[in-house]
Protein backbone atom coordinates (compact mmCIF):
# COMPACT_ATOMS: atom_id res chain seq x y z
CA UNK A 1 0.00 0.00 0.00
CA UNK A 2 2.98 2.32 0.41
CA UNK A 3 4.44 1.74 -3.06
CA UNK A 4 3.56 3.70 -6.20
CA UNK A 5 4.93 3.63 -9.69
CA UNK A 6 6.28 3.52 -12.21
CA UNK A 7 5.75 7.26 -12.58
CA UNK A 8 6.39 9.50 -15.56
CA UNK A 9 6.07 8.54 -19.19
CA UNK A 10 7.55 5.43 -20.81
CA UNK A 11 10.13 5.55 -23.59
CA UNK A 12 8.62 5.64 -27.06
CA UNK A 13 9.92 2.44 -28.57
CA UNK A 14 9.40 1.63 -32.25
CA UNK A 15 11.17 0.21 -35.27
CA UNK A 16 13.19 2.87 -37.05
CA UNK A 17 13.91 2.62 -40.78
CA UNK A 18 17.64 3.27 -40.50
CA UNK A 19 19.15 3.01 -37.03
CA UNK A 20 18.90 4.35 -33.52
CA UNK A 21 21.83 5.40 -31.37
CA UNK A 22 21.56 4.75 -27.64
CA UNK A 23 24.14 6.49 -25.47
CA UNK A 24 24.87 5.71 -21.83
CA UNK A 25 27.28 7.74 -19.76
CA UNK A 26 28.49 6.49 -16.38
CA UNK A 27 25.64 5.02 -14.33
CA UNK A 28 23.26 6.23 -17.06
CA UNK A 29 24.30 3.08 -18.90
CA UNK A 30 22.05 1.13 -16.51
CA UNK A 31 19.04 3.01 -17.93
CA UNK A 32 20.34 2.91 -21.49
CA UNK A 33 20.52 -0.89 -21.47
CA UNK A 34 16.76 -1.67 -21.30
CA UNK A 35 16.08 1.04 -23.89
CA UNK A 36 18.65 -0.43 -26.29
CA UNK A 37 17.20 -3.90 -25.68
CA UNK A 38 13.65 -2.68 -26.35
CA UNK A 39 14.66 -1.02 -29.62
CA UNK A 40 16.43 -4.20 -30.71
CA UNK A 41 13.38 -6.30 -29.84
CA UNK A 42 11.23 -3.87 -31.86
CA UNK A 43 13.41 -4.57 -34.90
CA UNK A 44 15.55 -1.43 -34.96
CA UNK A 45 19.23 -1.47 -35.77
CA UNK A 46 20.92 -0.33 -32.57
CA UNK A 47 24.26 1.41 -32.36
CA UNK A 48 25.24 1.87 -28.71
CA UNK A 49 27.84 4.17 -27.24
CA UNK A 50 28.83 3.82 -23.61
CA UNK A 51 31.36 5.87 -21.75
CA UNK A 52 32.92 6.54 -18.38
CA UNK A 53 35.86 8.39 -16.89
CA UNK A 54 38.04 5.26 -16.86
CA UNK A 55 37.82 1.64 -17.97
CA UNK A 56 37.22 0.54 -14.38
CA UNK A 57 34.06 2.64 -14.22
CA UNK A 58 32.39 1.16 -17.32
CA UNK A 59 29.30 -0.93 -16.56
CA UNK A 60 27.10 -3.41 -18.45
CA UNK A 61 29.46 -3.66 -21.41
CA UNK A 62 28.59 -7.30 -22.16
CA UNK A 63 24.86 -6.76 -21.70
CA UNK A 64 24.74 -3.73 -24.01
CA UNK A 65 26.89 -5.52 -26.57
CA UNK A 66 24.38 -8.40 -26.79
CA UNK A 67 21.48 -6.09 -27.67
CA UNK A 68 23.41 -3.85 -30.08
CA UNK A 69 24.43 -4.23 -33.69
CA UNK A 70 27.53 -2.24 -32.85
CA UNK A 71 29.02 -1.04 -29.56
CA UNK A 72 31.39 1.89 -29.28
CA UNK A 73 33.23 2.52 -26.02
CA UNK A 74 34.82 5.77 -24.95
CA UNK A 75 36.68 6.71 -21.80
CA UNK A 76 37.77 10.17 -20.77
CA UNK A 77 41.32 8.97 -20.10
CA UNK A 78 41.57 6.52 -23.02
CA UNK A 79 42.03 3.42 -20.84
CA UNK A 80 39.44 1.60 -22.99
CA UNK A 81 37.97 2.30 -26.38
CA UNK A 82 38.26 5.78 -27.83
CA UNK A 83 39.79 8.52 -25.74
CA UNK A 84 37.30 11.32 -25.18
CA UNK A 85 33.62 11.77 -24.50
CA UNK A 86 30.60 9.89 -25.83
CA UNK A 87 29.66 13.04 -27.76
CA UNK A 88 33.02 12.83 -29.59
CA UNK A 89 32.33 9.20 -30.48
CA UNK A 90 28.85 10.14 -31.73
CA UNK A 91 30.20 12.94 -33.90
CA UNK A 92 32.70 10.57 -35.51
CA UNK A 93 29.92 8.11 -36.40
CA UNK A 94 27.74 10.85 -37.92
CA UNK A 95 30.66 12.20 -39.92
CA UNK A 96 31.38 8.65 -41.15
CA UNK A 97 27.89 8.59 -42.63
CA UNK A 98 25.83 6.71 -40.05
CA UNK A 99 22.17 7.56 -40.68
CA UNK A 100 20.54 7.83 -37.28
CA UNK A 101 16.79 8.26 -37.13
CA UNK A 102 17.05 9.06 -33.43
CA UNK A 103 19.61 9.45 -30.66
CA UNK A 104 18.80 8.60 -27.04
CA UNK A 105 21.19 9.84 -24.36
CA UNK A 106 21.19 9.03 -20.65
CA UNK A 107 23.86 10.10 -18.20
CA UNK A 108 25.23 13.17 -16.45
CA UNK A 109 23.54 16.42 -17.42
CA UNK A 110 26.72 17.89 -18.89
CA UNK A 111 27.06 14.79 -21.07
CA UNK A 112 23.48 15.03 -22.31
CA UNK A 113 23.96 18.72 -23.10
CA UNK A 114 27.10 17.85 -25.10
CA UNK A 115 25.19 15.21 -27.05
CA UNK A 116 22.41 17.72 -27.78
CA UNK A 117 24.91 20.26 -29.09
CA UNK A 118 26.60 17.56 -31.18
CA UNK A 119 23.37 16.51 -32.90
CA UNK A 120 21.82 19.98 -33.27
CA UNK A 121 23.82 21.02 -36.38
CA UNK A 122 22.84 17.76 -38.08
CA UNK A 123 19.14 18.12 -37.23
CA UNK A 124 19.08 14.70 -35.58
CA UNK A 125 16.14 13.85 -33.36
CA UNK A 126 17.66 13.61 -29.88
CA UNK A 127 15.96 12.48 -26.69
CA UNK A 128 17.51 12.88 -23.25
CA UNK A 129 16.43 11.21 -20.02
CA UNK A 130 16.74 13.92 -17.40
CA UNK A 131 17.59 13.33 -13.79
CA UNK A 132 16.76 16.54 -11.94
CA UNK A 133 16.45 16.50 -8.17
CA UNK A 134 13.22 14.67 -7.31
CA UNK A 135 11.57 14.67 -3.90
CA UNK A 136 8.03 13.32 -4.06
CA UNK A 137 7.98 11.91 -7.62
CA UNK A 138 4.39 13.06 -8.18
CA UNK A 139 4.82 16.61 -9.46
CA UNK A 140 3.70 18.20 -6.20
CA UNK A 141 6.97 19.53 -4.75
CA UNK A 142 8.26 21.15 -7.94
CA UNK A 143 11.90 20.28 -7.17
CA UNK A 144 12.37 18.52 -10.51
CA UNK A 145 11.04 21.32 -12.67
CA UNK A 146 12.87 21.95 -15.91
CA UNK A 147 12.20 24.36 -18.74
CA UNK A 148 11.50 22.67 -22.07
CA UNK A 149 10.77 24.86 -25.09
CA UNK A 150 10.10 27.76 -22.73
CA UNK A 151 7.51 25.83 -20.72
CA UNK A 152 7.95 24.51 -17.17
CA UNK A 153 7.82 20.72 -17.03
CA UNK A 154 8.30 18.26 -14.18
CA UNK A 155 10.89 15.52 -14.69
CA UNK A 156 8.96 13.04 -12.56
CA UNK A 157 5.56 13.17 -14.29
CA UNK A 158 6.16 14.87 -17.66
CA UNK A 159 9.46 13.08 -18.24
CA UNK A 160 11.97 11.80 -17.75
CA UNK A 161 12.52 11.94 -21.52
CA UNK A 162 12.44 15.23 -23.42
CA UNK A 163 13.52 16.66 -26.76
CA UNK A 164 17.18 17.49 -26.08
CA UNK A 165 17.16 20.49 -28.39
CA UNK A 166 14.38 22.15 -26.37
CA UNK A 167 15.79 21.62 -22.86
CA UNK A 168 17.24 24.64 -21.05
CA UNK A 169 20.38 22.86 -19.88
CA UNK A 170 21.93 26.00 -18.38
CA UNK A 171 19.02 26.38 -15.98
CA UNK A 172 18.96 22.65 -15.22
CA UNK A 173 22.66 22.58 -14.34
CA UNK A 174 22.27 25.64 -12.13
CA UNK A 175 19.38 24.03 -10.26
CA UNK A 176 21.33 20.80 -9.78
CA UNK A 177 24.16 22.75 -8.18
CA UNK A 178 21.72 24.41 -5.78
CA UNK A 179 22.19 21.85 -3.01
CA UNK A 180 25.88 21.04 -3.45
CA UNK A 181 26.83 22.49 -0.06
CA UNK A 182 24.16 20.43 1.73
CA UNK A 183 25.08 17.31 -0.23
CA UNK A 184 28.75 17.67 0.77
CA UNK A 185 27.75 18.18 4.40
CA UNK A 186 25.52 15.10 4.33
CA UNK A 187 28.32 12.99 2.80
CA UNK A 188 30.82 14.23 5.37
CA UNK A 189 28.39 13.44 8.20
CA UNK A 190 27.82 9.94 6.82
CA UNK A 191 31.55 9.31 6.56
CA UNK A 192 32.11 10.55 10.12
CA UNK A 193 29.38 8.25 11.43
CA UNK A 194 30.90 5.28 9.60
CA UNK A 195 34.30 6.01 11.11
CA UNK A 196 32.79 6.36 14.58
CA UNK A 197 31.01 3.01 14.45
CA UNK A 198 33.81 1.20 12.58
CA UNK A 199 31.82 0.46 9.38
Q: Which domains does the chain have, with CATH numbers?
A: 19-197 (3.40.50.80)
Q: What would the DSSP string read from start to end of 26-91?
A: GGGHHHHHHHHHHHHHTT--EEEEEEESSGGG---HHHHHHT-SEEEEEETTSSSSEES-HHHHHH
Q: 166: burial class by Cβ within 10 Å (0-12, 13-18, 19+)?
A: middle
Check if the beta carbon of residue 115 is closer than 8 Å to that of residue 125.
no
pLDDT tier at 199 (50, 70, 90 boundaries)?
low
Cα–Cα distance, 23 to 103 (Å, whole number):
8
- Of residues 17 and 182, more confidence is placed in 17
User: Strand 19-25's sheet: what is its strand order?
Assistant: 82-83, 70-75, 46-52, 19-25, 100-106, 126-129, 161-163
Give the pLDDT of residue 5: 74
Mean pLDDT along residues 174-196: 87
The rounded distance, in Å, linking the Cα atoms of 80 and 156 is: 34
pLDDT bracket for residue 198 (50, 70, 90): low
Other beta carbons less than 10 A from residue 61's beta carbon: 17
Query: How do strand 151-154 and strand 145-148 relate by DSSP bridges?
Result: antiparallel
Kindly tell me if the per-residue pLDDT of 1 is higher than 70.
no
pLDDT in tens, 90-126: 999 999 999 999 999 999 999 999 999 999 999 999 9
Render pLDDT for 146-155 as a digit per residue (tens, 0 to 9): 999 999 999 9
Is the pLDDT assigned to residue 29 strictly greater than 90?
A: yes
Q: What is the pLDDT of residue 96?
A: 97
Where does residue 195 rank: exposed (0-12), middle (13-18), buried (19+ CB within 10 A)? exposed
Which pLDDT value is given to residue 51?
A: 98
Over the range 5-20, which residues count as b (16 or more CB within 10 Å of their CB) and which as e? eeebeebebeebeebb
SS3 140: coil
CA 65 → CA 59, 70, 81, 104, 105, distances in Å? Answer: 11, 7, 14, 16, 17
Region 27-34: mean pLDDT is 96
Pick the residue with more confidence: 76 or 196?
76
Q: Is the pLDDT of residue 178 over 90?
A: no
Identify which has the larger pLDDT, 194 or 84: 84
Beta bridge partners of 129: 161
Reported pTM? 0.90
Residue 178 gets which letter from DSSP?
G
Amino acid sequence: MDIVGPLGKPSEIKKYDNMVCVIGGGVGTASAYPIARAFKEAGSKVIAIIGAKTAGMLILEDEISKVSDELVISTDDGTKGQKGFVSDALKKLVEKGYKFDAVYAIGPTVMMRAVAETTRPFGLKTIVSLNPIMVDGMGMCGACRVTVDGVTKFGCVDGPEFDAHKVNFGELLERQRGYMTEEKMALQLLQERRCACGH
